[in-house]
């Protein structure tokens, strides 16, 4: 009977990172679990008390680098790694222009 319960389970991961601290939480979830549900089950606010809890539920979410448009409706598949993305502090275009300007000045 125990083997039967694993048939409808998925092994997935939820990842979040700050510049100085990263965590990947391995979870066993029921088949049909959504991206957002996995983030909720990962208890990230307990692992990152320095981050406002709403950050984890309002941030863009993705799977292996691809942003998911509707995380509350997107079911997970075996082996998926859910990623919680932090907002960018600097626009990448602005950063590239600043680097190019510094190199030109040298």
Cα pseudo-dihedral 79, 7, 30, 11, rounded to 10: -20
2-6, 33-37, 77-81 — which is least confidently predicted? 2-6
Q: What is the rounded CA–CA span in Å between residue 94 and residue 25?
A: 33
Entry pTM:
0.76
User: Which domains are assigned to the chain?
Assistant: 2-105 (3.10.20.90)
DSSP-derived secondary structure letter, 44 = H
pLDDT given for residue 21 in this prediction? 93
81 burial type by CB count under 10 A (0-12 exposed, 13-18 middle, 19+ buried): middle
99 pLDDT band, cuts 50/70/90, is confident
Q: What is the pLDDT of residues 40-80, one digit of tens each?
A: 999 999 999 999 999 898 899 999 999 999 999 999 999 99
pLDDT tens readout for residues 11-23: 999 999 998 999 9
């Amino acid at each position: 009977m125990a083997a039967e319960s694993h048939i409808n389970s998925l092994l997935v991961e939820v990842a979040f990172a700050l510049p100085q601290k990263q965590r990947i939480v391995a979870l066993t979830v029921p088949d049909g679990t959504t991206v957002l549900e996995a983030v909720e089950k990962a208890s990230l606010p307990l692992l990152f008390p320095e981050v406002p809890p709403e950050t984890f539920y309002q941030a863009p979410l993705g799977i292996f680098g691809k942003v998911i448009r509707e995380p509350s409706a997107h079911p997970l598949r075996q082996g998926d790694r859910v990623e919680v993305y932090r907002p960018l502090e600097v626009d990448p275009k602005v950063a590239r222009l600043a680097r190019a300007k510094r190199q030109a000045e040298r």
